[in-house]
């Protein structure tokens, strides 16, 4: 079940989105500035596994900072003082008792300032791959190189950053995270948030941190010099430094077990053993939906109207999946992944979805509410089932097929067409395409869904 998103309001009247997950002492994790989207991160199986592991020993709180994710986007003040106000609002909304606070990368300085200014509100401070001085951090050549790329080719920057900066080695994992980054923040706001880090210096506040502190650093982050973490640990009175293997500043990337173990030991929590519950492969039809031009729609309609349209899209999709026996595997922000035990039911569901979207648009044709355009992709096979999720080539190909479709189209793999022969469906040949990560071209078809 997805954590429920709630909102806190800062003293300068900015809405901050957050969720809580798990049981036990409260652990607040700050965002990876500027790319934070708490809803889409939870839908990503690799990142969700991190939160699920933490949630088995603590109540995890994650929030989107101002200007990003589900929080208020149009915000002028993104200074470190403003980031501290975000923290004040979230912590004030969840607990009157002291909490543990984990400052991640660029938001680490704000965690330091909050802790120094609020003695007694933070029981333990964790600083993950962070720094005290922005000018010291920006000395790294790779950091400046990525900054220049961000200003010249934002799309290429996202893909490069997902590989080089965030450290997703696998192409599919990297592409998934690059999409989260794209949807998390507008390019102009990303520049503003990054610019705010360049002159930050919280060195004077380090000596004022009065709680036990754990400074964590990943050994392979070559553009974040370990001397910055050593400086933090040496200047905070009750701090110690732990270095773990890996190359990502994102805690959820790479091998998370040494990090989980270090956090559990520091907070004196029982660290649950990692569990892997892969099940035998079973036949499934996998369906992906995607709301076409979602970003453009949100920009055109504005946040309130855009989210109203998105809620209608979600309502219609979930109603159709329920009626046709589909299992919602995950919500993807502007689409869904679902599975079916019957290929016929999957195709019927896709047809019903397009017809209801079409009817909705016609009913509201004189209103901004007629902005729904959905593409659907279908594949069938034996995906890997693990911890309530599906993985493997069957799932990846279904996603690729959905991305190849146009608005209002249902694109299916040849396997789906062959398995529904004689079921009364009409297909049109779309030819072949070369899905990324597959050795050979794939034959796809579109389903004729009109009355």
pLDDT in the model for residue 267: 93
Share of the chain above pLDDT 70, in %: 87
- Helix 45-55 vs helix 257-266: angle between axes, to the nearest 10 degrees? 20
Checking if the pLDDT of 277 tops 50, the result is: no
- Of the candidates 256, 244, 271, 278, the one whose C-alpha atom is nearest the C-alpha of residue 50 is 256
Q: What are phi and psi of 337, to 5 degrees?
A: -120, 130
Domains contained in the chain, CATH given: 6-142+189-266 (3.40.50.1820), 278-447 (3.30.70.1230)
Query: Quick one: which of 50, 68, 8, 52 has its CA closest to 192?
Result: 68
Question: For residue 34, which of 235, 182, 139 has the smallest C-alpha distance?
Answer: 182
Lowest-confidence range among 137-146, 334-343, 358-367?
137-146
At 145 the pLDDT is 59
* pLDDT, tens only, 20-61: 999 899 999 999 999 899 999 998 887 898 999 999 999 999
Q: Residue 70: name the closest of 82, 86, 55 by CA.
A: 86
- Environment class of 53 (CB within 10 Å of its CB; exposed 0-12, middle 13-18, buried 19+): buried
136 in Cβ contact with 130 (< 8 Å): no
Helix (H, G, I), strand (E, B) or coil at 150: helix
Q: Which helix (H) or strand (E) holds 99?
A: strand 99-104
Taking residue 67's Cβ as centre, other Cβ atoms within 10 Å add up to: 28
Write down the pLDDT at residue 14.
96
Percent of the chain past pLDDT 90, that is, above it, reads: 51
pLDDT tens per residue, range 237-275 = 999 999 888 777 788 887 888 899 899 999 988 776 655
pLDDT given at position 91: 97
**Confidence label for 137 from pLDDT (cuts 50, 70 and 90):** confident
What integer best gives the mean pLDDT of the chain? Answer: 86
Q: Given this model, what pLDDT does residue 294 score?
A: 67
Tokens at 326, concatenated: 């589909």
CB atoms within 10 A of CB 121: 19
């Amino acid at each position: 079940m997805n954590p429920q998103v709630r909102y806190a309001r800062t003293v300068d009247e900015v809405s901050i989105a957050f969720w809580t997950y798990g049981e036990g002492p409260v652990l607040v994790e700050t965002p990876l500035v500027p790319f934070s989207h708490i809803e889409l991160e939870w839908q990503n199986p690799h990142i969700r596994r991190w939160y699920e592991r933490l949630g088995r020993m603590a109540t995890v709180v994650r929030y989107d900072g101002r200007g990003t994710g589900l929080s208020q986007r149009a915000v002028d003040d993104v200074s470190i003082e403003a980031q501290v106000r975000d923290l004040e609002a979230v912590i004030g909304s969840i607990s009157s008792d002291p909490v543990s606070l984990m400052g991640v990368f660029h938001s680490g300085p704000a965690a330091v300032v909050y802790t120094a200014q609020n003695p007694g509100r933070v029981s333990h401070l964790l600083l993950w791959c962070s720094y005290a001085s922005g000018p010291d951090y920006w000395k790294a050549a790779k950091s400046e190189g990525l900054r220049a790329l961000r200003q010249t080719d934002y799309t290429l920057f996202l893909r490069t950053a997902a590989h080089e900066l965030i450290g997703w080695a696998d192409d599919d994992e990297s592409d998934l995270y690059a999409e989260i980054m794209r949807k998390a923040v507008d390019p102009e706001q990303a520049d503003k948030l990054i610019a705010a880090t360049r002159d930050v210096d919280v060195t004077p506040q380090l000596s004022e941190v009065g709680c036990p502190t754990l400074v964590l650093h990943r050994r392979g982050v070559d553009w974040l010099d370990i001397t910055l973490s050593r400086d933090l640990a040496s200047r905070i009175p009750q701090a110690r430094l732990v270095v773990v293997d890996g190359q990502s500043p994102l805690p959820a990337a790479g091998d998370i077990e040494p990090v989980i173990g270090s956090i559990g030991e520091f907070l004196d929590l029982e660290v649950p053993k990692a569990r892997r519950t892969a099940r035998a492969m079973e036949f499934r039809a996998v369906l992906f939906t995607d709301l076409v031009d979602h970003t453009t729609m949100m920009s055109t309609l504005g946040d309130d109207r855009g989210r109203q349209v998105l809620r209608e899209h979600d309502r219609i999709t979930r109603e159709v999946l329920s009626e046709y026996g589909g299992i919602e595997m995950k919500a993807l922000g502007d689409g869904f992944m679902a599975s079916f035990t019957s290929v016929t039911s999957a195709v019927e569901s896709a047809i019903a979805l397009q017809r209801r979207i079409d009817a909705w648009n016609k009913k509201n044709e004189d209103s901004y509410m007629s902005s729904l355009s959905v593409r659907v992709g279908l594949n069938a096979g034996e995906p890997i089932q693990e911890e309530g999720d599906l993985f493997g080539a069957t799932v990846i190909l279904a996603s690729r097929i959905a991305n190849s479709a146009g608005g209002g189209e249902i694109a299916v793999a040849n396997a789906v067409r062959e398995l529904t022969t004689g079921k009364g469906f009409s297909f049109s040949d779309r030819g072949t395409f070369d899905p990324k990560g597959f050795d050979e071209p794939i034959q796809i078809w579109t389903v004729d869904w009109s009355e």
